[in-house]
Structure 1
């Protein structure tokens, strides 16, 4: 459902995404959506939290003296690029 929401947000604002369209895009039943989320805002919050957690995990590497700063920045930029690619309209 994360990817389905990201795909829809490329063309719509969050308040314009109906749950029916989200579930169709994500190939899940409406009941599945409601089993995990109360509303689309809850899903959006989870998507944002996942991105932040992944960046925080990468950030921990900068305090590790064994990690080269170039490697750290390369990993962060690679992650951001991956997010940008997955968020491009199809």
Structure 2
């Protein structure tokens, strides 16, 4: 699993927060860094643009689902446990995907 710095985590959360009220093309780097309480230079140390950040957020969610999937299928879990764990994770992250 990819280890994110606290600044990256703040940028992830900041972008997700902004995307709850705006479209991706309406979010500026200035607004994102202010919302995230991260310096603009720190943003550019990790990302070229907001699309790169969004891609990393999506990849992180997919990676977490894959890790969950692997841990469940490696165990002797039954189908109910498998679906319960996956749906619990999806429910946990659903707040990040509210329509604007």
Q: In structure 2, what is the equivalent of residue 31 of structure 1? A: 41
Measure how far apart 1:65 and its partner are. Answer: 5.2
Task: Give structure 1 regions of 4+ aligned residues with deviation exceeding 4 angstroms.
Answer: 86-89
SS of the equivalent of 2:21 reads coil
CA contact (8 A) 1:58 1:72 kept: no
Measure how far apart 1:64 and its partner are. Answer: 2.8
* TM-score, normalization by structure 1: 0.88
**Structure 1 stretches lacking a partner, 5+ long:** none
For residues 3 and 17 of structure 1, do their structure 2 counterparts lie closer, same or farther at Cα, with a shift above 3 Å needed? Answer: same
Q: Which residue, 56, 66, 70 being the options, matches 1:56?
A: 66
**Structure 2 stretches lacking a partner, 5+ long:** 1-10
Size of the alignment, in residue pairs? 89
* TM-score, normalization by structure 2: 0.80
Aligned Cα root-mean-square deviation (Å):
1.7
